[in-house]
């Protein structure tokens, strides 16, 4: 295998496509700890990285992995880790640190059945809320939910770019089924891949304030060793980066951390709409389940039921406004997901009406089939008739 990115058409495992996407995005540091079903990402990286001068390190646990990628990013390397539920739980404290220090990095969570060790080899989509609320305190996060191997590649690149633009940890919230799916992946020429890098200071070290934001609310980032003598602390800090634990400093800092995502959310939020124009029933879905939902839309349409799909590509920030807008045109919203209704709750939050939101949920480590979605909808409609 060459030291170039694998431009061309491939038949590829989702996890490998994610790893290859990271390489294409310029990731040169990976720290991780093996856990099913994410391990193939680490394996692929360990095979490919030495050829790029990248460093793969298998740490002693996920706490270390997360801390290490923040450290490496402070030194200027684009950095990533990959894990699944139990490992994600261990990373949360340091994900908060990355938020507070404003250090770009990417965390892949290939979700499996949970809680606890749960169903190691089986699919789940139960970490939706954890991704947003898992670390302590108020913060905003960006999380992508790829639904195909192609998206595992594309959205990984996107995740790195978003991390660099906003100086945030970005989560790729995929699932076992997508991670272990094998399908066509088209990798473009290196020159066609858009890569974004963090903004560097535009003043001398004497005039530099490490946490003074630009207009986009994102401060410019000096790396270790450049002579800026940055101080970064997880404590509430001022523009110099020095601890300042007054209410005012806290309000100013945390508000900006929230705003830099919230105020840019139109640029960040991504979704896909299929036949929503004339839809009376709107399916909202993501990840592997969105593929069943798409098939369900087709089956319903065949029977003359006007269904459409709204596929979440970013789970966070959540597209509340867009969903509210779509909800005004439909008579029913259906949310299929492999958990007990985590995104359904967000949809309910988005609505201004008392429109029914039907959850199609499954616990048990299996996919939700298109037929199951169709049946559940028909059953619901019959009850309503």
Residues binding another protein (CB under 8 A): 2-3, 29, 31, 50-51, 53, 55, 57, 59-61, 63-65, 67-77, 79, 93-94, 97, 101, 223-235, 240, 242-243
Nearer of residues 31 and 131 to another protein, judged by Cβ: 31
* Shortest spacing between CB 142 and another protein, in angstroms: 21
**What count of other Cβ atoms lies within 10 Å of the Cβ of residue 216?**
13
Place of tokens 């630009």: 214
Nearer of residues 69 and 147 to another protein, judged by Cβ: 69
Question: Are the beta carbons of 287 and 145 closer than 8 angstroms?
Answer: yes
Question: Are the beta carbons of 281 and 300 closer than 8 angstroms?
Answer: yes
* Shortest spacing between CB 45 and another protein, in angstroms: 13
Question: Residue 124 corresponds to which tokens in the numbers above?
Answer: 């789940």
Task: Give the whole-angstrom CA distance, residue 283 versus residue 27.
Answer: 35
Question: Are the beta carbons of 90 and 144 closer than 8 angstroms?
Answer: no
What does the DSSP assignment read for 99-165? HHHT--EEEEEEEEE-STT-EEEEE--TTHHHHHHSSSSS---EEE---SHHHHHHHHHHHHHHHHH
Torsion of CA 214, 218, 224, 227, to 10 degrees: 10
Nearer of residues 4 and 255 to another protein, judged by Cβ: 4
Nearer of residues 231 and 349 to another protein, judged by Cβ: 231
* Shortest spacing between CB 90 and another protein, in angstroms: 11
Task: Give the whole-angstrom CA distance, residue 136 versus residue 112.
Answer: 23
Question: Are the beta carbons of 37 and 180 closer than 8 angstroms?
Answer: yes
* Shortest spacing between CB 255 and another protein, in angstroms: 22
Strand partners for 334 = 283, 358
Nearer of residues 65 and 161 to another protein, judged by Cβ: 65
Residue 98, CA distances (Å) to 11, 230, 246 in order: 35, 15, 21
* Shortest spacing between CB 254 and another protein, in angstroms: 18
Nearer of residues 69 and 332 to another protein, judged by Cβ: 69
* Shortest spacing between CB 233 and another protein, in angstroms: 4
* Shortest spacing between CB 381 and another protein, in angstroms: 51
Helix (H) or strand (E) holding 234: none
Nearer of residues 240 and 301 to another protein, judged by Cβ: 240
Task: Give the whole-angstrom CA distance, residue 217 versus residue 378.
Answer: 48
Nearer of residues 75 and 137 to another protein, judged by Cβ: 75
CA angle 139, 337, 354 (to 5 degrees): 80
> How many angstroms from the chain centroid is the CA of residue 5?
23
Nearer of residues 73 and 264 to another protein, judged by Cβ: 73
Task: Give the whole-angstrom CA distance, residue 373 versus residue 371.
Answer: 5
Helix (H) or strand (E) holding 17: helix 14-25
> How many angstroms from the chain centroid is the CA of residue 301?
31
* Shortest spacing between CB 229 and another protein, in angstroms: 5
The three-state secondary structure class of 103 is coil
* Shortest spacing between CB 127 and another protein, in angstroms: 21
Nearer of residues 9 and 235 to another protein, judged by Cβ: 235
* Shortest spacing between CB 223 and another protein, in angstroms: 8
């Amino acid at each position: 295998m060459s030291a170039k990115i694998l431009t061309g058409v491939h038949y590829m495992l989702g996890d490998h496509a994610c790893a290859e996407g990271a390489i294409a995005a310029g990731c040169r540091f990976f720290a991780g700890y093996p856990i099913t079903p994410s391990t193939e990402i680490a394996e692929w990286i360990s095979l490919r990285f030495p050829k790029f001068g990248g460093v793969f390190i298998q740490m002693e646990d996920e706490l270390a992995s997360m801390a290490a990628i923040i450290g490496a990013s402070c030194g200027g390397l684009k950095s990533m880790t990959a894990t699944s539920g139990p490992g994600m739980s261990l990373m949360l404290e340091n994900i908060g640190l990355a938020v507070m220090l404003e250090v770009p990095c990417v965390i892949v969570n290939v979700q499996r059945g949970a809680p606890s060790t749960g169903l190691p080899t089986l699919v789940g989509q139960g970490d939706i809320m954890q991704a947003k609320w898992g670390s302590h305190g108020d913060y905003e996060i960006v999380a992508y939910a790829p639904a195909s191997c192609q998206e595992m590649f594309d959205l990984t690149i996107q995740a790195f770019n978003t991390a660099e633009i906003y100086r945030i940890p970005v989560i790729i919230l995929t699932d076992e089924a997508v991670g272990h799916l094998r399908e066509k992946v088209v990798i473009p020429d290196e020159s066609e891949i858009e890569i974004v890098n963090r903004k560097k200071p535009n003043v001398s070290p004497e005039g530099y304030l490490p946490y003074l934001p630009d207009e986009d609310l994102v401060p410019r980032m000096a790396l270790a060793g450049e002579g800026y003598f940055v101080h970064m602390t997880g404590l509430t800090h001022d523009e110099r980066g020095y601890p300042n634990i007054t209410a005012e400093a806290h309000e100013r800092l945390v508000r900006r951390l929230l705003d830099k995502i919230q105020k840019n959310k139109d640029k960040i939020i991504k979704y896909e709409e299929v036949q929503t124009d004339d839809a009376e029933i709107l399916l909202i879905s993501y990840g592997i389940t969105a593929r069943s939902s798409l098939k369900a839309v087709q089956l319903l349409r065949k029977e003359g039921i006007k269904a459409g799909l709204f596929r979440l590509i970013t789970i966070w920030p959540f597209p509340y406004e867009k969903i509210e807008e779509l909800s005004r045109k439909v008579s029913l919203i259906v949310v299929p997901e492999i958990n007990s209704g985590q995104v359904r709750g967000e949809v309910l939050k988005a609505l201004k009406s008392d429109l029914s939101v039907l959850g199609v949920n499954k616990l048990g480590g299996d996919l939700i089939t298109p037929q199951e979605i169709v049946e559940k909808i028909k059953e619901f409609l019959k009850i309503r008739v």
